Structure formats: structure tokens, C-alpha cells
Amino acid sequence: MKRRYISFLTQISLICVGIVLLPFLGIMTYFAVDMSQKIDEEYVSVLKKANVQIETGISSVFSEAERLSYLHIVNDSLSEVLRHKHEVYDRSFLEDNKVVTNIVRDAVLLNPNIYSVVIINSAGNAYDNSFNSYYWKNMYRDLPVWGELAKSLPGGRFINIHYGSTNEPEALMLVKPLEDIERGETLGTIGITLSFRSIRNILNNAVQNHGNLAVYNEAGTPVYTYSSPDVKGDDTVIYDIWKELQRDKTDQEEFVKDFTINRGSYIGGVQKLEQLGWTVVNYTNRSYIRSLYYQNIRMFMLIAVFVIVFDLLIAFIFVRRLNISVHGLCQAMENSGEKGILESIQPERTEFKTEIDMLIHSYNSVIRRLKDSMERSLVLQMNEQRMEFRMLQAQINPHFLYNTFNLISSIAGIHGVDSICKITGCISDMFRYSIQESLIVKLKDEVREVNNYMTIQTIRFKDRLYADFDIEEETLETPVPVFLLQPLVENAIIHGLEPKEGMGYISIIAYMADDEVELIVRDNGVGISAGKMKELLKSIEKETIEPISTQGHSSIGIKNVNQRIKAYYGEAYGIRLESQLNMGTSVVLRIPKNITKII
């Protein structure tokens, strides 16, 4: 079955649409979901902070006022006065009233929220400081009754609210019995008149834009309501919210809740004020919250649609023009395949050269290069064969030398020439070590190689050279790159000990440092000056190997080892140089004991 042909223009157009639309739809979906979640989370956080603000502010107002109900405990004079019984309002009563008035005045001096304080003792004598009878006309009659009622209420307090002509709370009275805890008797009742202005400010400041607030007493009656100026209040919603709170009762004093009322969705912060027996609900219609990100999304979509249409139009014009050249190339290739004759294509003459023009040019030149390509392929094949032959030769030569040195060692042993026997034996072992295929060896094999090298050098220098090996047994099985230490030892002899007069020594040390192995090659040679050390370190850090002319000091061996360590173990490892002029040089290598990276 012949497959359906899809033109290049159609393919590119579909790809352009997919590249533009699919990411856009994905980004838009993610953007909308993420923005919705973030706005909800931020608004919940705002409501929780508002709850804390309400609870802290109102509790502070009432706690300050409630301190007056403990004056008889901290002031013995007040306690004594309240026990007096006056049948008539004579001079003694006026003196007692003055005492009470002074004590109360000092207590409320710095509290602007308190209008007045009235105290009626158990004998029915009333003491007040500028009592405002406008709010409570039957104060003297009702206060003892409220005091008895407060004993049975939570917290031992009774709250009475006075509403003004506009049905707005103007003041409230906090009533508490004055109990003598030591004697177990009631001295009287205190009534503290508080301005509702400060409470109103605390509640109103907690309301957000497009927000509402409702305060309920324990019976569910709205005590106070408020709506921000940009929202019209709805009394039915206020009562329905209380019904939902009663239906989903919880012991939590502060929480955020979703309300569904009359097909409308609201989110509100609920705060219970235990001191007053009130429940405060600070709520907002979710339609306002959603409008915040709907507006942003609409603006973003309008801009995105304009950009997409513009991009697709430009892409269509460009692809259509590009398709002309591609179609001509495909037609020429199809004709060449059917007729067996390769024909060239004449590219369109345009001001700019495009990739399609380059493709056409490449197609035209492929025929001319075909013969050259076949000839080069044949040459490469012959070169590979020669290279394989040379590699076999290179492999035979070290084996031949290894066997030859073994023969020399045997003959020297027969004739009793121990030094020659020892040297050829060491060289034989070194050749065998060098022709092994593995690039990774154990540290003990590398130490054996260095020992063979030092044996030859000790014979060469006679009594001028001494080698010391201090290798911890735990480090011997550590895998290391082949020829890790030998170039460093050779570098120490050539550049450190040969120019030195007198006895020279080389110390090779290996020990565990946590989970790493530290290797040190130390000599007592001529050392390196500060200037030359700086130049040497700079050369080691270069990516290319370059000799440094420092009176024979070369960084090639050290640099080679440093680059192999970094390539094998990572950039965190390498070589550290320490040297003092005429004192010697130490080369310190730190490598991991267990490695996972292979060259």
C-alpha cells in the first residue's frame, strides 16, 4: 500500500502550529492553576493574620479593663470601704466615695477606652466616677442583677451592649462580681463602661477590600456588622453563615472556612472571642478573589493570541517561500533516481544565502566528489592496515627486549657480576610492567615499579643516593593509574638530586587520611625558588603540555601525572607542591581509596 504523501509545506506548518500552540496551552493551564492556588493561599494567610489581629486587639482592650475588677484584691483600702454599710448618704459615705473615686481614677487614668466605672457593694451603696446615665438609665437597679448573672457565665463576666440611634453599638458594659477569695464572700459588683470605638476600629481594620464582617453573640444574634465601602452588605448571608457554623461545629478558636450560600461561594476567617462570648467572621465572596486572576489571565491571553497569530503569519510566509526550493530539490532527486542520471539544480538568485541554498549546492557537488570520496576511502583502508601492522610490531619489540634483558641477567649471574644481574633484572621487570594492557594497577605494583627504578639509580649514584619507603599496609590494595609515582621519582632525581652535592635521599610515603590515600614523594634536593615555583604551578594548570625553561626544571612529568589524576578522579583531586630553595621538594597526591570513575 502506497503511503500518503504529505508536502513539506504542510509538515512545517503543522510543526509551527504545534510548537506555538501546545506550549502556550500548557503554560496557560499551569499559569491559571498556579495563580489560583497562590491567590487562595495568600488570602487564607491574610485571613489568619486578621484573626490574630482581632483576637489580640480586643483581648488587650478587655484585659486592660478587666484589671479593675481586681482592685479590691490589691488595694486593702478599697476592700475595707466596700464592707461599709451606709443607710444614708452622709459625710462618711462621701469620704468612702472619694476613696473609691480616687482609686478608680488612678487605675483608669491612662486608659481612654473606659467611659466610667460603677461599683455597688453588697449593702447596695453605689460608688461611681462620672457615671454616664445616658447609656444605662436603670444602672443602679440592673447592675446587682447582672453581677449575679455573671457568676453563672463563662469567665464570671456579663457583657451588655448599648446601641445608638443608628442601631450601631456605642458602648458596652463589662460586669463582674467582686469576690473576696480569702473570706469566700461577695463584696459587690463592678460595672465598667467601655467605648465601642476602639473595638470597632480593630474589627474594621481587619476587613479586606470587598470584604464583610459579622460579630455574633452566643445566641447567634449579630452584635455588629460591617462591609467595606466597595461591597453592599446582605443580611440574609449573615444569618446563613451562622447556620453553617452551627452545622459544622468545631472546638477550634481560630480557623478559615468555605461557605456556600444561595449558590454563592464565600471564604471567611472565623475567630472566637472567649472573653466576650463572641464569634467574629471576616468573609469575602470568592467571585472577587477569582476576578483578581481572571483579569490578569484575560490580558495575558489577548497578548498571547495576538503574538501567536502574528508568529504563525510570519512563519507561513517564510515556510511557503522555503518550500519552493525544497520542492525543486525533491523533484530533481526523484528524476535522478528514476532516470539514473544525476542532474544538478539551479538555485534561486536571492540577496541572502539560506540553508536550502547550501543544501542545493551540496547536492550539486556530491556527484563531483563521489569519485574522490571512493579514492580517499581506499587510502584510509590501506592506512588502517598499515597501522595495525605497526601496532603488532610495537607490541613485539618490548617482548623482545624483555626476553633479551632476562638473558643478560642470567649470563651476568653465571659470571658473578651482581650489579649487572640486578640492573638487568630490574629493567626486565620494568619492561614487563610497561607492556601490560591494564591502565589501572594496585598501589603495591606501582611501588614495586618505583623500587626497581630506585635500585638502578642507587647503583648509578653509588653512595650518594638513599631511598626510603614508608607505605601503610592498608593502602597497598588501592587502585591507581599506571605510572603514577615513577615520573615523580624520576623528576626528583634529575632536577633535585643530580645538581646537589653530597648525600641525597628520596622518601616515598603512603598513608590513609579518612577515606582517602595521601601519597608523598619527598627529596632533599636543591629545591625551587618562589619565582620558579609560581611559574611551575602556572604551567601545571595549563591544558596543554609546555616545557618551562627554569634551568632544567621541567613540569612535563608533574603536569602529566596531575592531568591524569584529574581525568581519573575528578577536578577535586590533583597534585600539591611544597618546596624550599636548597632544602628540598615534596610532591603530595591525595586520591580516594575507593573509586567509581574509569578512564
How do residues 33-60 score in pLDDT, each as one tens digit? Answer: 777 778 788 888 888 898 889 989 988 9
- Give the per-residue pLDDT at 536: 86
- Give the per-residue pLDDT at 40: 81
State the total domains in the chain. Answer: 2
- Give the per-residue pLDDT at 546: 44
Q: For residue 133, is it within any domain? A: yes
Which has more confidence, 389 or 312? 312
Q: Which residues are registered as beta bridge partners of 119?
A: 127, 190
**Mean per-residue pLDDT, 379-383:** 55
Question: Quick check: helix, strand or coil at residue 340?
Answer: coil
User: Using CA atoms, how far apart are residues 256 and 80, in angstroms rounded to an integer?
Assistant: 49
Q: Between 8-66 and 196-205, two packed helices, what is the crossing angle to 10 degrees?
A: 170
User: Using CA atoms, how far apart are residues 341 and 47, in angstroms rounded to an integer?
Assistant: 81
Question: Quick check: helix, strand or coil at residue 267?
Answer: strand
Do residues 431 and 403 make contact, with C-beta atoms less than 8 angstroms apart?
A: no
Q: Which of 246, 273, 288 is the last residue of a domain?
A: 288
Q: Tell me phi and psi for residue 82, to 5 degrees.
A: -65, -15
- Give the per-residue pLDDT at 488: 92
The answer to whether residue 289 scores a pLDDT higher than 70 is yes
Q: For residue 146, is it within any domain? A: yes
- Give the per-residue pLDDT at 258: 87
- Give the per-residue pLDDT at 395: 47
- Give the per-residue pLDDT at 379: 52
Which has more confidence, 312 or 147? 147
- Give the per-residue pLDDT at 501: 85
- Give the per-residue pLDDT at 599: 41
Q: For residue 313, is it within any domain? A: no
- Give the per-residue pLDDT at 447: 93
- Give the per-residue pLDDT at 214: 92
- Give the per-residue pLDDT at 1: 46
User: Using CA atoms, how far apart are residues 491 and 553, in angstroms rounded to an integer?
Assistant: 9
Residue among 545, 550, 555 nearest 581 (CA): 550
**Mean per-residue pLDDT, 385-400:** 48
Identity (one letter) of the amino acid at 1?
A: M
The answer to whether residue 23 scores a pLDDT higher than 70 is yes
Do residues 120 and 126 make contact, with C-beta atoms less than 8 angstroms apart?
A: yes
- Give the per-residue pLDDT at 510: 95
CATH of the domain at 585: 3.30.565.10
The answer to whether residue 448 scores a pLDDT higher than 70 is yes
What average pLDDT does the structure give for the chain?
A: 79
Q: Tell me phi and psi for residue 83, to 5 degrees.
A: -85, -10
- Give the per-residue pLDDT at 452: 87
- In this prediction the pTM is 0.48
Q: For residue 170, is it within any domain? A: yes
The answer to whether residue 267 scores a pLDDT higher than 70 is yes
Retrieve residue 27's grid coordinates.
Answer: 503554560
pLDDT band at 22; cut points 50, 70, 90: confident
* Owning domain of residue 139: 44-288
The per-residue pLDDT for range 464-480, each reduced to its tens digit, is: 888 899 999 999 999 98
Angle, CA 453 vertex, CA 467 and CA 485 arms, to 5°: 80
Angle, CA 511 vertex, CA 508 and CA 515 arms, to 5°: 140
> Which range is least confidently modeled, 24-33, 385-394, 395-404?
385-394
User: Using CA atoms, how far apart are residues 149 and 153, in angstroms rounded to an integer?
Assistant: 7
Q: For residue 164, is it within any domain? A: yes
User: Using CA atoms, how far apart are residues 200 and 72, in angstroms rounded to an integer?
Assistant: 30
The per-residue pLDDT for range 553-567, each reduced to its tens digit, is: 444 578 878 877 887
**Mean per-residue pLDDT, 252-261:** 85
CATH of the domain at 131: 3.30.450.20
The per-residue pLDDT for range 301-332, each reduced to its tens digit, is: 787 777 777 777 777 777 766 666 666 667 66
The per-residue pLDDT for range 156-192, each reduced to its tens digit, is: 888 888 887 777 888 888 999 998 888 888 899 999 9
Do residues 440 and 591 make contact, with C-beta atoms less than 8 angstroms apart?
A: no
* Continuous H helices in 248-285: none
- Residue 233 is given by DSSP the state -
The answer to whether residue 507 scores a pLDDT higher than 90 is yes
Q: Round to the nearest angstrom and report the end-to-end CA distance of the chain.
A: 51
Q: For residue 420, is it within any domain? A: no
pLDDT band at 577; cut points 50, 70, 90: very high
User: Using CA atoms, how far apart are residues 289 and 287, in angstroms rounded to an integer?
Assistant: 5
The answer to whether residue 369 scores a pLDDT higher than 80 is no
Q: Which of 241, 258, 288 is the last residue of a domain?
A: 288
Q: Which residues are registered as beta bridge partners of 169?
A: 163
Q: For residue 468, is it within any domain? A: yes
Q: For residue 520, is it within any domain? A: yes
- Give the per-residue pLDDT at 348: 57
Residue among 168, 179, 172 nearest 158 (CA): 172
The answer to whether residue 376 scores a pLDDT higher than 60 is no
Q: Which helix (H) or strand (E) holds 224?
A: strand 222-227
The secondary structure of the chain in percent helix, strand, coil, rounded to multiples of 5, reads 55, 20, 25
